[in-house]
Amino acid sequence: MPIDILMPALSPTMEQGKLAKWLKAEGDTIKSGDIIAEIETDKATMEVEAVDEGILAKILIADGTENVAVNTPIAVIAADGEDLSAAASGGGKAAPAPQAAEAPAPAPAAAAEAPAAQAAAPSVPAQAKSYDASSEFPAGAEVVSMTVREALRDAMAEEMRRDADVFVMGEEVAEYQGAYKVTQGLLQEFGARRVIDTPITEHGFAGIGVGAALTGLRPIVEFMTFNFAMQAIDHIINSAAKTLYMSGGQMGCPIVFRGPNGAAARVGAQHSHDYAAWYSNVPGLKVVMPYSASDAKGLLKSAIRDPNPIIFLENEILYGRSFDVPKGDDFTIPIGKAKVVRPGSDVTIVSFGIGMTYALGAAEALAKEGIEAEVIDLRTIRPMDIETVIASVQKTNRCVAVEEGFPQSGVTAEIGMKIMEAAFDYLDAPVARVTGKDVPMPYAANLEKLALPNIGEVVAAAKAVCYRA
Amino acid sequence: MAIAARKTKAGAPAKAAAKAPAKTAAKSTPKGAAKAIPNVPTFTKEEELHAYREMLLIRRFEEKAGQMYGMGLIGGFCHLYIGQEAVVIGMQMASKDGDQVITGYRDHGHMLACGMESRGVMAELTGRRGGYSHGKGGSMHMFSREKNFYGGHGIVGAQVSLGAGLGFANWYRQDGRVSMAYFGDGAANQGQVYESFNMAQLWKLPVVFVIENNRYAMGTSVNRASAQTDFSKRGVSFGIPGEQVDGMDVRAVREAASRAIEHARSGKGPYILEMQTYRYRGHSMSDPAKYRSKDEVQRMREEHDPIEQVRGRLTREHKLGEDEFKAIDAKVREIVNDAAEFATHDPEPDVSELWTDILLEPAQA
């Protein structure tokens, strides 16, 4: 029985990749464990190991093919003695997706009837088309499309060129090129003194970063995920956020703590926490959570130049999304300014970070039903630009706030309270919120999907505040 | 347990320490017989006088702070350094301008030793606008960029990672500075201490870890809290050399400090000094110190007092007369009384200070 080899996923959020190279040719004998091909994403290059044994009967996807979807058959293996031409003609039984050697391993597809495509794909919707950040671009600037990952890297590289006091430290930031490839190429350009691999010791290296910042250096401390920053939160809050005040204004702490935050896909409760609300509770910190690549770049550059401790919350799923970004190395976005990304008159939808995917998706869906939503990207959680939200609510008289974080004491709870304080008389309906559910993140694909917000919930909330069925 | 007057290398240090072994100094010596031992470092008269003045200033300052606490002028937490003065003074005598100091909450002595004004320190204790932090820090939180004093930290052990970070900055800038991170026998059991040891040795950061072992982490004696009570060996698994030092003898402290600082400054990485010392007062003002006997405290004061040791040598070896001591004492009392007077009458911070110093304004691009 011929067996299909499927395109493997390198990570829980990988949807497609490039089949860079075949290391075996048609007719070759394949043993379990043989490296048969190399695949690439913008994040990593991985070798594909054979799980099954036999003869490589047919290569279905040629060397160099881009954008091969996860779980697409890429080759067919025939057992010894099998009719190769029959095998090569396809119709093989799908094998489990070959094991990629990188942890966390992708979920193997149990059977051909239930390909793992949906399971491996993030449950957040694809990028909405309607996000236009160009009004903030420098006049006449040439615009290029780049991923959030590339935008973050460029921001760091540009600021490191500009200021010798800026350096990056964290786990796997240098030789590995970043666990999520955000620091790709920085070691090569800036050397080992400015791009520093740390041991796995978040509490310690966060403290070292803060100590260095107190002397006036400008560290960028990367956490592989903000879940791990829990080990370091004492230094972030007690040492970084409070020292300026405790020193009567003498000891500033110009430091950026950055890394992916919140849910990725199928990584379980300890790797999926959204900390926006936690850090936004603390005076002495600024908390930034961009959605688009241009905001990621412009805000990270501002964060690195800022004299205060900044929490810069990224998102693994957004790393690979592409947006227009103006060319040039002096494009910044001010911290503390929200942005109306889609004008509308009927209801205000406020969100930030990956929450914007639900907000924008809902706005598109609502438009089809004749409801024009005004969508606001907060971009900075603290200090919060509530004025922009209030101005919108004074126009629409209704508001839905959206976040992936937990509901109690969440960012959306704060938005609702601030609107009540400042614009109560303008409201035609109570402010509604759509949040992550009040449960630790489950692993099972169906439960994870339920735990996160979705476009339907935002649409329903918007209709509810508009008193529309 | 008597305070050992011996210095030992870290037990069986790994490669790095073996390559750069600490000099073994004086042999094991019983206390009180110091002057008979040839290897005990000696001070010139000027050095003895300097140490005497500086230690006496800390002693009198802390006594005054204790009084003012009793009068209700100082609130909250107040941890006195009385008994431990030789540690920070001996260290400072071996350091250079530009070297940084960071410590925990028992920090008044370190600030004075760094040259911070006694008025500003005392006014911070009383929560007044003339305090180093304008009254917003208190006893545990004062800083001076000018004097390279980086606090004043209330989370036990945090100053060790931060101090390694100061050393990191020196390494990054290659400016020849050394940072000194002070912490107690209690903090020495915190996990981040070992994270910092590891990175400091891995990257050869110029930092001296000064463990002030005053035998009690609040009310818990070293023996009840520490599986390894020889703190000089706490860096052995990282190959960091360490020594036990008689922290009541300012000469021994300076000698060991010179060795440690030179090691760090020359690019060989961190060094650990366990200063065997003793605090006469309770952990904080509210501590009745029931966990140790009055005799123990009395014996330390009578037999090992760091200031009396210097005074004895100045009398015996340098023939300093009673009048000269009186003149020094009067000068020190004048400084302390002036600080207390200032701190008592300086106004509280303006209410507008509540909302300042939370964030800095970004520079305009």
- Over residues B256-298, the pLDDT tens digits come to 999 999 999 999 999 999 999 999 998 888 888 889 999 999 9
Which residue in A159, A202, A314, A457 is the catalytic one? A202
Specify whether the CB–CB gap between B182 and B210 falls below 8 A.
yes
Percent residues over pLDDT 90 in chain B: 85
**pLDDT > 90? residue B228:** yes
What are the two backbone dihedrals, phi and then psi, of residue A272, each rounded to the nearest 5 degrees? -130, 10
- Residue A87 tokens read as 């095998």
The verdict on B352 touching A (C-beta cutoff 8 Å) is no
Q: With beta carbons under 8 A apart, name residues in chain B contacting A335.
A: 362
Kindly state whether residues A36 and A152 are assigned to the same domain.
no
In this prediction, residue A83 carries a pLDDT of 64
CATH code of residue B233: 3.40.50.970
Q: How far is A345 from chain B (nearest CA, A)?
A: 35
Q: Residue A453: which CATH number?
A: 3.40.50.920
Q: Please tell me the predicted confidence (pLDDT) of residue A46.
A: 84
**Is B19 domain-assigned?**
no
Strand partners, A209: none
Amino acid code (one letter) for A247: S
Q: How many domains does chain B have?
A: 1
- Whether residue B365 lies within 8 A of chain A, CB to CB, comes out as yes
Mean pLDDT of the residues in chain B: 91
Instruction: Give the gap in angstroms from C-alpha B319 to the nearest C-alpha of chain A.
Output: 44
Q: What is the structure's pLDDT at A9? A: 84
Domain boundary among A266, A292, A326: A326
Cα–Cα distance list, A226 to A169, A231, A265, A382 (Å): 15, 10, 15, 17
What pLDDT is stored for residue A3 in this prediction?
87
- For B357, the closest of A245, A286, A307 (CB atoms) is A245
In a domain, A395, yes or no: yes
* Residue B250 pLDDT > 80: yes
Question: Distance (Å, rounded) from C-alpha A213 to C-alpha A230?
Answer: 20
Helix (H, G, I), strand (E, B) or coil at A93: strand
Flag whether B13 is in a domain: no
Subunit contact B136:A306, Cβ cutoff 8 A: no
Q: Are residues A268 and A163 in the same domain?
A: yes
Phi, psi of A405 (to 5 degrees): -70, 175
Cis peptide before A383 (omega within 30 of 0): yes
Residue B363: pLDDT band by 50, 70, 90 thresholds? confident
Give the residue from chain B lying closest to A209, CA to CA: B165
In terms of residue numbers, what domain contains B113? Answer: 41-343
Contacts of A251 in chain B (CB under 8 A): 143, 145, 150-151
A222 has catalytic annotation: no
Sheet of A166-170, strands arranged across: A195-197, A166-170, A218-222, A256-260, A310-314, A286-288, A380-382
Q: How many C-beta atoms lie closer than 10 Å to residue B145's C-beta?
A: 14
Q: Which of A146, A118, A116 is nearest to A133 (CA)?
A: A146
| pLDDT value of residue A105 | 39
Same domain, A68 and A197: no
The complex scores an ipTM of: 0.88
A315 and A205 assigned to the same domain: yes
Co-location of A315 and A362 in the same domain: no
Tokens of B154: 């209330």
Q: What is the pLDDT of residue A126?
A: 65
| Residues in chain B closer than 8 A to A248 (CB atoms) | 131-137, 357
Residue at B87 is within a domain: yes
Chain A hits for B358, CB-CB cut-off 8 Å, are 244-245, 283-284
Q: Is residue A307 part of a domain?
A: yes
Q: What is the pLDDT of residue B29?
A: 41
Rounded distance, CA B280 to CA B289, Å? 10
Give the domain range for residue A345: 339-465
Q: Which of A326, A358, A382 delimits the end of a domain?
A: A326
**Which positions 200-259 of B are in contact with A (Cβ < 8 Å)?**
202-203
A414 flagged as catalytic: no
Same domain assignment for residues A156 and A245 = yes
- Host H or E run for residue A387: helix A386-396
Peptide bond into A104 cis (omega under 30): yes
Same domain, A357 and A311: no
Q: Residue A421: how many CB atoms within 10 A of its CB?
A: 10
User: Both A77 and A219 in a single domain?
Assistant: no
| Residue A166 burial (10 A CB sphere; 0-12, 13-18, 19+) | buried
B contact residues 59-118, partner A, Cβ 8 Å cutoff: 100, 102
Give the nearest chain B residue to A246 (CA atoms): B137
Q: Are A355 and A406 in contact (CB under 8 A)?
A: no
Tell me, what's the pLDDT at A134?
79
For tokens 């919120």, what's the residue?
A433
pLDDT above 70 as % of chain B:
89
Assigned domain for A153 exists: yes
Q: Which residues contact A139 (CB under 8 A, 6 or more apart)?
A: none
| Residue B357 with chain A: CB contacts under 8 Å | 244-245, 247-249
Q: What is the pLDDT of residue A469?
A: 79
Domain stops at, among A96, A116, A133? A96
Give CA–CA dist A143/A341, Å, rounded: 18
Angle of CA points A315, A239, B270, to nearest 5° = 105
* Cα separation, A247 vs A259, whole angstroms: 29
CB contact under 8 A, A244 and B132: no
Distance CA B288, CA B281 (A): 9
Domain count for chain A:
3
Same domain, residue pair A60 and A176:
no
Residue of chain B minimizing CA distance to A252? B360
**Is B163 touching A (CB cutoff 8 A)?**
yes
| CATH number of the domain bearing residue A260 | 3.40.50.970
**Distance between CA atoms of A235 and B104, rounded to whole angstroms?**
14
Tell me whether residue B255 is in a domain. yes
B49: in domain: yes
Q: Per the CB < 8 Å rule, is B365 touching A205?
A: no
Backbone angles phi, psi at A168, to 5 degrees: -120, 135
Q: What is the pLDDT of residue B245?
A: 97
Contact A328, A414 (CB under 8 A): no
* Alpha carbon A352 to chain centroid, angstroms: 12
In the prediction, which pLDDT does A40 show? 87
Neighbours of A162 (CB within 10 A): 14
Per-residue pLDDT of chain A (469 residues; tens, 9 = 90+): 788 888 988 777 788 889 999 999 999 998 888 899 998 887 777 888 888 888 999 999 999 999 999 889 999 998 876 766 665 554 445 544 444 444 443 333 333 343 333 444 455 666 655 567 778 898 888 999 999 999 999 999 999 999 999 999 999 999 999 999 999 999 999 999 999 999 999 999 999 999 999 999 999 999 999 999 999 999 999 999 999 999 999 999 999 999 999 999 999 999 999 999 999 999 999 999 999 999 999 999 999 999 999 999 999 999 999 999 999 999 999 999 999 999 999 999 999 999 999 999 999 999 999 999 999 999 999 999 999 999 999 999 999 999 999 999 999 999 999 999 999 999 999 999 999 999 999 999 999 999 999 999 999 999 999 999 7
Binary contact (B102, A211; C-beta < 8 A): yes
pLDDT of residue B3: 44
Q: Based on the domain organization, do A40 and A158 belong to the same domain?
A: no
Q: Would you say residue A107 lies in a domain?
A: no
pLDDT single digits (tens) B57-84 = 999 999 999 999 999 999 999 999 999 9
A contact test, residue of B183, B201, B359 with most A CBs within 10 A:
B359
